[in-house]
Amino acid sequence: MSSIDVGQAVILGIVEGLTEFLPVSSTGHLKIAEGLMGIPVSDHAIVGFTAVIQVGAIAAVLVYFFRDIVRFTTAWCRGLTNPEARRSHDYRFAWWVVYATIPIAAAGLLSKPLIEGPLASLWVVAASLIVGSAIMWVADRTATLKRGEDDTSLTDAMVVGSSQILALLFPGFSRSGATISTGLLRGMDRVAATRLSFFLSIPALTGAGIYELKDTIGGGVGVLPLAVGTLVSFVVAWVMVDWLLKFVARHSLNAFVLYRIVLGTALLCLLATGALGA
């Protein structure tokens, strides 16, 4: 019997789609939702399920940024055989995304026992929500916002890509929160930092989903709940990608910072009183 039914898969798909690209931590919200529904958050199959349904959110990014991805891919293919084409920013940017994925991939493979073990606790989620909020607030307050996407460098991509490790190790920190904040600290404007965060998410989350697929199905999660959760996350995430880009073009990250602090504090209270198991 599946350890997650279709109704639970729908709820988790909605949570994933809503929070994957917002700087509020999708993993943290998924673990909170699982805890409230009595689903064991540290179970290997459940950890795998949350990684697999992220592929639905990534599919939404692929659809939303289809023209950009085709442009980068075309430039990359041309650059493989044409030295002149290698001077284009699109060609270099495509390689930078690949290079910037290497640190998170290595960290994911090396730290898997920790991710599925002691770091899967809701105590870690609560603390990471609050600590991550402080970093986001500092990044937003000190950001110069002087550099756009065309000014992105290999160093930017590597530093921002490596920041994903924080979210990997500490659920609740937020992958998008870490990458957007790091981009801001590098002097990028909010839209450029957010777009870079989206592009870096494609190989990182797709790889994680494919890697966890075998453990998820083999661990007792049925194909139907997995498919439903992934489809729901795709639909909801597509809406959120469009909304977030429009939001960051005109607003700071303060609303997300406040939300994270409130949620983290509330979660600490629930855990401390025993109202919610870690």
pLDDT tens digits for 94-147?
Answer: 999 999 999 998 988 887 777 766 777 888 889 999 999 999 999 999 999 999
135-184: pLDDT as tens digits: 999 999 999 999 998 898 999 999 999 999 998 888 888 899 999 999 99
Give 49's Cβ-side CA count (13 Å radius).
Answer: 35
87: phi then psi, degrees, rounded to nearest 5: -80, -15
Q: Which amino acid is at 126?
A: A
Q: Which amino acid is at 6?
A: V
Distance CA 211, CA 54 (A): 12
- Give me the helices (H) in 37-188, please: 44-64, 66-81, 89-110, 112-115, 122-142, 154-162, 164-169, 175-185
Question: Torsion over CA of 233, 237, 239 and 241, rounded to 10 degrees?
Answer: 180
pTM as predicted: 0.85
| The two structure tokens encoding residue 259 | 């939300």
185-204: pLDDT as tens digits: 999 999 999 999 999 988 88
